[in-house]
């Protein structure tokens, strides 16, 4: 029951804003349509994985929430780089951040 609550809070505070911020950054960077489609697939797979991890590891969940709130963790850092769909999005966002 506590795991479900932690997962819900994490989804509310991290996953939802993560999806919105990644989409906003992708639009701002004017990424190609293929990367935008891949990013949607990435977020569809990564969201539940992140919530599941948060529900099983309270310390990681709390540290992640605080790190994101303080701006110490970029959204791209939460994505699984080994997933080809997420790797394209993460590299595009990191490249955008370096050029700014």
Rounded to two decimals, what is the model's pTM?
A: 0.70
User: CA separation (Å) from 89 to 13, 22, 42, 99?
Assistant: 21, 9, 8, 16
- Are 51 and 1 within 8 A, CB to CB? no
**Structural tokens at position 38:** 């891949």
Mean pLDDT of 74-97: 72
Nearest Cα neighbor of 22 from 3, 8, 42 is: 42
Q: What's the pLDDT tens digit per position in 15-28? A: 887 777 777 777 77
- pLDDT at 97 > cutoff 70: no
- pLDDT at 99 > cutoff 50: no
């Amino acid at each position: 029951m506590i795991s479900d609550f932690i997962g819900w809070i994490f989804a509310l505070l991290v996953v939802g804003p993560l999806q919105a911020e990644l989409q906003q950054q992708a639009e701002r960077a004017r990424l190609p349509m293929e990367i935008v489609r891949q990013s949607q697939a990435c977020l569809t797979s990564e969201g539940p994985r992140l919530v599941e991890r948060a529900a099983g590891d309270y310390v990681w969940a709390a540290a992640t929430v605080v790190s994101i709130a303080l701006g110490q963790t970029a959204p791209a850092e939460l994505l699984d780089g080994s997933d080809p769909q997420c790797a394209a999005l993460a590299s595009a966002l990191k490249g955008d951040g370096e050029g700014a």
